[in-house]
Amino acid sequence: MGLGPVMLDLRDTELHQDEIELLRHPLVGGVILFSRNYENPQQLRELTTRIHSIKQPPLLIAVDHEGGRVQRFRYGFTRIPAAGLFGKLHDQNPHKAIEYTENAGWLLASELLAVGVDFSFAPVLDVDTGRSSVIGDRAFHADIDVLTMLARACIKGMKSAGMAAVGKHFPGHGHVREDSHETVPVDNRTYQDIMMNDVMPFERLISSGIAGIMPAHVVYSQIDARPAGFSDIWLKQVLRNQLGFQGVIFSDDINMVGAGTAGNYPDRAKAALAAGCDMVLVCNNQPAAIEVIDTLQIDSQPQTQVRLMRMHANQKQISLSELQNSSEWKQIAREIATLEQTPELDLGDDEVHS
């Protein structure tokens, strides 16, 4: 039995019997965790151990844990600064910014791996245009060269800890003001404009071997009437064929309003997979997840299985307490804490988005 194409979530901090049966379904391949699933590091480690023990190969366990506004686990974890903070540091000291960003990537990944999480949906590769209500300081910078350098450093740090990275939101969410959680954003720019700006960081990091990419629930009206996550033009023609991406394509949450143009939940899942996604996320709506796996019919492809298996943590991890007693963790955690407390770089801590 391989990994199924559906990633779903859990109700709370415990794994209930009905959820165990749900996770045993052959179409389920992963679990995404949220703040409601976290109480403390020990509880989280016990939860992830149980999830991984349900079947073989083990289910993938993921989380949106970027830093800044989007950090699902806080108590007991290092507070990771928003990506934009590293961009501001780069404007003052480029060398230091790259070093600190790589260290932050290592720190983020090491702590998650120590509690049994396989990967985070990070980093954000959107351009900070100042327009997007949902991206904002989740993006590294407005300059695509700086953005790419910092994202590459973050990915390098994550990889050194043993974690694969997932860049989002292809081909770029930064030029639309609307939030795809709440509406269907439309980007009316030309294909050439999007490719020469927003897609460039994705293209460069594909060349560097990024393991996963998540498309946006944004309609790029000059290219396709469908949101990118349901568009074979964007996913198959551009991402796979033109850019040569060989990693995993994860859909964004199909429970979001921005996914509603694809129909009901089974239709959304089917459309995302047909467009080129390898794994579909169904979050914050367990009845919808059940409806999807009860309805969806799809044959597992060997190439997809190879891609998904690469998302598992690839190093044996120590416990979080052992990690936090190490000299490397202490040095880097102090460094990152100092950066976060610098007044001229403090970007605040707003409401969490995914």
Q: What is the CATH number of the domain that holds 283?
A: 3.20.20.300
Confidence band (pLDDT; 50, 70, 90) for 257? confident
Is 4 part of a structural domain of the chain?
no
Residue 343 CA, distance from chain mean position = 29
Average pLDDT estimate for 176-189: 79
For residues 316 and 322, the answer to whether their CB atoms sit within 8 Å is: no
In the predicted structure, residue 333 carries a pLDDT above the cut 90: yes
Confidence band (pLDDT; 50, 70, 90) for 1? low
Q: Which long-range contacts link 109-112 to residues 24+ away (Cβ below 8 Å)?
A: 109/157, 109/158, 109/159, 109/161, 109/162, 109/163, 110/161, 110/317, 110/323, 110/329, 111/77, 111/78, 111/320, 111/323, 112/63, 112/65, 112/73, 112/163
39 burial via Cβ count (<10 Å: 0-12, 13-18, 19+): middle
In the predicted structure, residue 353 carries a pLDDT above the cut 80: no
Confidence band (pLDDT; 50, 70, 90) for 146? very high
In the predicted structure, residue 130 carries a pLDDT above the cut 90: no
Tokens of 311: 């998302």
Task: Residue 175: give the domain boundaries.
Answer: 76-345
Q: Which ranges of 179-301 does DSSP label H, i.e. alpha helix?
A: 191-196, 199-207, 232, 265-275, 286-295
Closest of 112, 111, 86 to residue 99, by C-alpha: 86
In the predicted structure, residue 343 carries a pLDDT above the cut 50: no
CA–CA gap between residue 189 and residue 127 (Å, rounded): 14
The pLDDT value recorded for residue 179 is: 61
Tokens of 40: 């403390």
Is 139 part of a structural domain of the chain?
yes
Give per-residue pLDDT as tens, 8-26.
999 999 999 999 999 999 9
The count of other CB atoms within 10 Å of the CB of residue 2 is: 16
Is 304 part of a structural domain of the chain?
yes
The percent helix, strand, coil of the chain (3-state, each to 5) is: 45, 10, 40
Confidence band (pLDDT; 50, 70, 90) for 177? confident
Average pLDDT estimate for 118-126: 97
Give per-residue pLDDT as tens, 263-280.
789 999 999 999 999 999
In the predicted structure, residue 180 carries a pLDDT above the cut 90: no
Q: Is the dihedral of CA 84, 89, 94, 98 positive or negative?
A: negative
The pLDDT value recorded for residue 263 is: 78
Is 42 part of a structural domain of the chain?
no
Give per-residue pLDDT as tens, 62-71.
999 999 999 9
Closest of 9, 17, 14 to residue 38, by C-alpha: 14
Least confidently predicted of 8-17, 38-47, 145-154, 171-180: 171-180
Give per-residue pLDDT as tens, 24-63.
999 999 999 999 999 999 999 999 999 999 999 999 999 9
Is 36 part of a structural domain of the chain?
no
Is 301 part of a structural domain of the chain?
yes
List residues with catalytic annotation.
Answer: 181, 252
160 burial via Cβ count (<10 Å: 0-12, 13-18, 19+): middle
Residue pointed to by tokens 């007693």: 325
Higher-pLDDT residue of 340, 290: 290
Is 1 part of a structural domain of the chain?
no
For residues 87 and 147, the answer to whether their CB atoms sit within 8 Å is: yes
Whole-model pTM above 0.75? yes
Is 160 part of a structural domain of the chain?
yes
| Termini Cα distance of the chain | 31
How many domains would you assign to the chain?
1
225 burial via Cβ count (<10 Å: 0-12, 13-18, 19+): exposed
